[in-house]
Amino acid sequence: MLTAGALNDLGARLASAAGPNPPPAWDGGFDPLPDDADAGLILHVKHLALLRCYQARYVLLPDAAPGGSVLDHLAAHYGEDRLRALSNVRGALENELIVPLQAEAATGDVTAYVERLLPELRSVGSDPFLDALAGLTHREDHYRNFLVQSSADLLAEASASALGVIGEFGAPQSALFRILIDEFGYGAHGHKHSVLYQATMRSFGLDDRYNGYWRLFDTHTLVLHNAIHWLFQNPRNIFRQVGFLLFAETAYQRSTLFHARYLGRFHPQADARYFAEHAHIDLHHTQMVVDEVIAPFVERFGPEVGGEIIAGAELTRAVFARNGAGQLALLAAFEAAPSAIYGLRPHGGRLVTPATPVAPAARVQVGAIGAVSAADFHRFPAGATGRLTEAA
């Protein structure tokens, strides 16, 4: 298990590689842990470190030229020392944080599983988070936080799953590649799903740069996205990756439809193309996964592979459910806080969890929702994180 000291050494090394005031694309560091860090804070920072490990595999460039030589910046961000330091901790972090979450390989028949799963997911009648928002005065602030938390993945949508497409594994690879190029807008930049998502973020006055809200991601968000990266950055998970796609593409057809309707009702001026596009195209993606990936894989390798596909789908169900419950609990806690002030404020302050001791006069910015008093924040559920906005 990685110690707080080892994490702090790594964080300091990454921060020094990034230099002062790096653009979000190359800000590769994470928060230091104080000596008296509580368990929730340690867990959160470990997840930040693991996400940095995964992001190190991405080509990330800022949208404007930085000061100095771009090649010097690349040499620092993707330098051998930095990458080695990250890869040295990755396995230990995965074993501690993600492996315990994975569903055991199931023994059921995958064809029967698919026959049950698809109608189950397609009969979901509403989204509990959006249902909760409909009755709130400050729904826009909570929705902005939803966009911020989801941006951890969606501003580089399908880059995680792209890592499961490279290599050579026969005809299913080409089906997965066709799904991937849909995600990338068939090469038309304006249709790339991450670009559509940027437009939605801008509709809510948000910064649309990848990692622009790194400091506001809560633990639930990090768990979800690290689990997805764990699946796709480990080639041994290829069949579990297929299970992820089966579940995620099917669930997304419904959830994106509800988001498109929600935006049409409450924010008709917002750019909702991201959601409308998915409500339609993911129907095809599910069918491609079932017919062109699962069926030929099971035919080639037998029922053992079906068990892995089920395990991947069930892991996906578990991490989505956990994140959904976490975001709902956060919403309820914020609504119940008497000191709540809504809105996104500067969030450069110290990272805290509800268990972190802070001065009573301090205020805590919680995601993009708003700020509460330290006393109220102590009553927030585990998995919530915040940033001190006033000297504690």
Whose tokens are 């037998």? That residue is 302
The residue (of 56 and 162) whose beta carbon lies closer to Fe ion is 162
The residue (of 249 and 376) whose beta carbon lies closer to Fe ion is 249
Q: Is 183 in the site for Fe ion (CB under 5 A)?
A: yes
Question: How many binding residues for Fe ion (CB under 5 A)?
Answer: 5
Cβ 210 to Fe ion, closest distance in Å? Answer: 16
193, 229, 240, 363: residue in contact with Fe ion (rule CB under 5 A) = 193
The residue (of 258 and 380) whose beta carbon lies closer to Fe ion is 258
* Separation of alpha carbons 193 and 181, rounded Å: 10
Binding to Fe ion (CB under 5 A) within 328-367 occurs at: none
Kindly indicate which of the ranges 109-117, 162-170, 183-191, 222-230 contains the residues binding Fe ion, using the contact rule CB under 5 A. 183-191
* Separation of alpha carbons 185 and 193, rounded Å: 6
Question: DSSP letter at 104?
Answer: P
Q: Is 153 in the site for Fe ion (CB under 5 A)?
A: no
Which residue has the closest beta carbon to Fe ion? 193
Kindly indicate which of the ranges 23-31, 191-199, 320-328, 353-361 contains the residues binding Fe ion, using the contact rule CB under 5 A. 191-199
Kindly indicate which of the ranges 26-34, 114-122, 185-193, 379-387 contains the residues binding Fe ion, using the contact rule CB under 5 A. 185-193
DSSP 3-state of 385 = coil
The residue (of 31 and 249) whose beta carbon lies closer to Fe ion is 249
Query: Which conformational region is residue 27 in: left (phi greater than 0), alpha (psi within -120 to 50 degrees), or beta?
Result: beta
Cβ 249 to Fe ion, closest distance in Å? Answer: 5
Task: Give the angle subtended at the CA of 134 by the CAs of 130 and 139, to the nearest 5°.
Answer: 85
> Cα-atom radius of gyration of the chain, to the nearest Å?
21
264 to 303: interface string for Fe ion, x by CB under 5 A: ------------------x--x------------------
DSSP 3-state of 365 = strand
Neighbours of 385 (CB within 10 A): 31
Report whether 31 contacts 10 (CB < 8 A): no
Report whether 310 contacts 243 (CB < 8 A): yes
Which residues of this chain interact with Fe ion, rule CB under 5 A? 183, 193, 249, 282, 285
